[in-house]
A and B are shown apart, each in its own frame.
Chain A
């Protein structure tokens, strides 16, 4: 499978702990996105990278959240001091953007975070 890969698939953590998720996009894709999805809702935008540059962060992304994409390849999303409200599916997506504006994403299978 040469699609978008996310690890781990599931993560259960205690409130207050730090967690880190990894996303490996499709290799030739220059754009990478993080979204959060809660039950019964559509995905909500968190942040976006073009190559290694983080170009936009949602107001949903508090100071406890940080994302990186070193060398423009894989990306990590870290949540510090997790809270129960952070429980959600964290989706990564990538796309091959050749111009301005959005294009079709390929999503990964997500990391389901449960904070107990």
Chain B
């Protein structure tokens, strides 16, 4: 199956600064890339996703960029707030496939 690597594993940022998480995938055929946020003890929640026919997508303070040539995609959080503290997971999926292959997660801590 698809192999997704995520970096860094932990990230500490000052409130108001930006946070960037990067994921690489192994199969160039992958075409769907969602990001999930999981707060402690809670369910993973979809925060943004992108398909391979788009290079960038934004939703308020969150953006995802996709570089198909390099096979990596990144999550950008601007103007971080304490409520952004959570574990973030990237994932990838093949065309005509329904399952997601997840990265190992990044623990983001926003310092007040």
Which residues of A are at the interface with B, using a C-beta cutoff of 8 A?
A: 3-4, 31, 33, 40-45, 48, 50, 55-56, 58, 91, 97, 100-110
Contacts and interface: CB of A to CB of B under 8 A. Distances in A.
Contact of B105 (A41, A56, A91, A101): A41
A107 B93 contact: no
Interface stretch (B12-20, B37-45, B57-65): B37-45
Interface residues of B, number: 28
Question: Which of B89, B95, B99 counts the most chain A CB atoms within 10 A?
Answer: B99
A101 B42 contact: no
A110 B43 contact: yes
A41 B87 CA distance: 10
Nearest to A104: B46
A43 B98 contact: no
Contacts of B1: 45
Contacts of B6: 42
Contact of B100 (A40, A41, A97, A105): A105
Contacts of A58: 99
Given A40-B104, A41-B104, A42-B104, A102 B43 contact: no
Interface string B57-76: 00000000000000000000
B101 interface: yes
